[in-house]
Amino acid sequence: MTTATPTVLLVHGAFADAASWSGVVAELQSSGIPVVAPPNPLRGLASDAAYIASFAAQIDGPVVLVGHSYGGALITVAGTTENVVGLVYVAAYALEEGESLGELQGRFPLSSLVSNLKEWTYPVPGGDPVVEVTIAEAAFPSVFAADVPADVTKVLAAAQRPLAAAAFEETAAAAAWKTKPSWALIAGADQAINPEVERFGAKRAGATVVELEGASHAVAVSQPKAVADLIRAAVRATS
């Protein structure tokens, strides 16, 4: 335990950017909690987790890592960083060591996300083009943000950040929840990740769980106060 208030490091997931945390950031700042929301490269589990771990290690004092969606897989690995004192999963994947996103998802019926991905490619120096995915724009509101106003959802759909497809097959090098306390928010109406996947991972991690029955995958956008409340609980418990 430490007497310093931990800094909250918010890790966004695929098909989003750090602006998706805006409401949560405002809530935490209003409580005097230091908070940062760096960009998530979305290029692969190992490299993205290394980026987040490096970012966390350069923060003075304790850190609470918060991961949304794919960001949950990243905090699972990056959370082994020495100054990380807690993990918060928001509609997120909590992987086991040696497990991939595809393996965890495959234990349960697939969400409607899987059939609504659009493939793109991007160049890598000296190699073949690499596949990345976004959510088909027409499907984005129902899959990602069913409880967000339509005008906001149109903007979110247009501003998606693609995820490298290989990220679904990479395995987690560690599972920080084995040694760090964790919290989890389950989005009960999630169409991007089957809520059963979120519940299973949270239970396995021994997380303190809050479930929001009608919440979409974009719960940080639609219900920032509820998300911030869980983060505040984690900050209190680790202060």
In this predicted model, what pLDDT tens digit does every residue of 16-29 receive, in sequence order?
999 999 999 999 99
Half-sphere exposure at residue 58, Cβ-oriented, CA atoms within 13 angstroms = 8
Tens place of pLDDT for every residue, the chain, 239 residues? 446 899 999 999 999 999 999 999 999 999 999 999 999 999 999 999 999 999 999 999 999 999 999 999 999 999 999 999 999 999 999 999 999 999 999 999 999 999 999 999 999 999 999 999 999 999 999 999 999 999 999 999 999 999 999 999 999 999 999 999 999 999 999 999 999 999 999 999 999 999 999 999 999 999 999 999 999 999 999 99
Residues 6+ apart with CB under 8 A from 128: none
* CB neighbourhood size of 159 (10 A): 12
Q: What token pair was written down for 163?
A: 């995820």
Q: Is the dihedral of CA 103, 14, 53, 31 positive or negative?
A: negative
